[in-house]
Structure 1
Amino acid sequence: MVKVLILSATGNQGSATLRALQASKQKHSIRALVRDASSEKAKALVAQGVEVLEGGDWDKDVASLEKAVAGIEAVFFISNFFPGDTETEVRGATNIIEAAKRSGTVNHVIYSTVGGIDYYKELPGLDTIPFFLNYWESKTKGEELVRTGGFAYYTLLRPVEFMSNWTVAKMAGFQYPDLIKDGVLHTAFPESQIMAEISPDDIGRTAAAAIEAPGTFAGGPTRELHLAGELLALKDIVAQLSEVTGKKLSVYTYSDEEAVEAAKTNLLIAGQISRRDWKGMARPAEDFGLGFSTFREYLEKHREEVRELYKNVP
């Protein structure tokens, strides 16, 4: 049994890690630090036997972090980017690491950042868009804090794009609004663009596996893991979504001129332009014996949710 603290326990990765730990035969002791202990999600955690503590922003509320790490052996947290203050993410990571060090009990820190971080300096035009440079550098600084924290074990998780970005309203509405509304994905990517996808559940399973066997999992006691479940051409992702939704979905690739113009007001398009020839994310990855989900398997598992999301497509 491991005493584990999960930060952002109601989010995508935190909740997936919590579920994986709960499903384990080892019966871990799980504590969660949440913003609002009175929320329905927090109450649901309590009902599941999770110890729930309430705390504020990681970059400010050191007292809550100190309380949360007391007696804990493993801490899981994710990188949170704040566009308005690029140092907020670093301050938060610093406070978490320092609180863990002062606890005297934490020996393993699991930090989830983003796939391709080890190749970000190869991104074309990185220096011309401060937003992107700050995005990558803040996460790099967070990883270095974990790496040099002096813990017996550490795990750096680097997940690629979540499969749920295509199926959950909040994320799909942000990244692919035209696709879920009109059935057309407007993008700077060609249809042949290789996309790397991972199920959030598989991120959680990887984190749990590292927590349970920190000395040996994936070549421990320290590990830096690129997490990708499947590499697919963009056209194949859209085709599989079409099959599951019963809708005729398609890809419209901007011409170079259209993409440049769109990028002036849309950072997502600007990011796509820089990633068209970048191999940072779309590279083969191991599943560490865990058997990661394919995109089709993920869609089948969430079939009703997917069909509901795309129901208004003509």
Structure 2
Amino acid sequence: MGFVELPYTGEEEWLRQRRSVVTATDVAKIKTGSDKAFASLWREKRTPSTFRGNRFTQHGKDREPVIAAMLTEDYPWLRPNRSLLISDDDARFGATPDMVSDDGLVLGEIKTRKVSDDKDEWLSWADVCADQTGKKYACQVAWQLFVTGAERCVFAVEHWSDEDGWADLRPLRVFDVERDEVLIAELRDVAERFLEFTPPELVQGDQSDFEAMAVARALAEEESAIALLRAELREHEKARAALQADLLDAVGTQSRSVDYGGFVVEVSPGRRSRSFDRKALAADYPELESKYTIEKDGQPTVKVRGAD
């Protein structure tokens, strides 16, 4: 099994090509997502996304070529890749690994991951697979290996923390990942089910049901108002955090209470917190974590969106 390469000719064309196949990002989303993931992805495939990135995705874009150059020093046969690779066994399946070896048998995948402290770093591939975000990456790697027919993947992750607006980079960690045929089979089944998926048929509501129409309109207005308030709140929280940092620079971090003519500034020392590390439990005692994990039926939800 091999692949057909669709050369990269630009971002818009690449995105259009991706919408025509099931990609590594797609299978990871529906494999690790909720029951709503199928419907969400179904809509994404038909409506181009308006998301153009944020500072975290931009950080990843900026670091990827740097990390690729670092990998090339130890793996000189790996080459950066931007082309969409299509399975020659099934043209419905595609992937865009970050790097591909000259013979196509080894892939390279690069991730950047923000962490709060050292204990959050992934030290092994088992750590990756035990983490909720890492599970998505494991699915992506497995799908890339399936689509291309490659034998293994060089997975590189660079952890970083946000220190006063600049990135504190941690040492690059590299894991050698082999094909997981069990996971590949699960992902192919998920992909096949997605390709057969059709969302609930959109039916025309009873235009005389004025009560339902009025409630739906009121709900839509409330959801719109909440979205605006949340956006405004995020801006205020960013401004507050910046002002708090400026004030600590001015008055120091020692515990104190100071009256500045009507404004009382109270400085409290940071407190050590304690939390339960479920990720570590799952990695060290997976059977115990599984034994005490319970599932509950969710409550029905309703939302109102504009008609397509």
- TM-score normalised by length of structure 1: 0.23
Normalised to the residue count of structure 2, the TM-score between the two structures is 0.23
Task: Identify the structure with bigger relative contact order (alpha carbons < 8 Å, sequence gap 6+).
Answer: 1
Larger Rg: 2
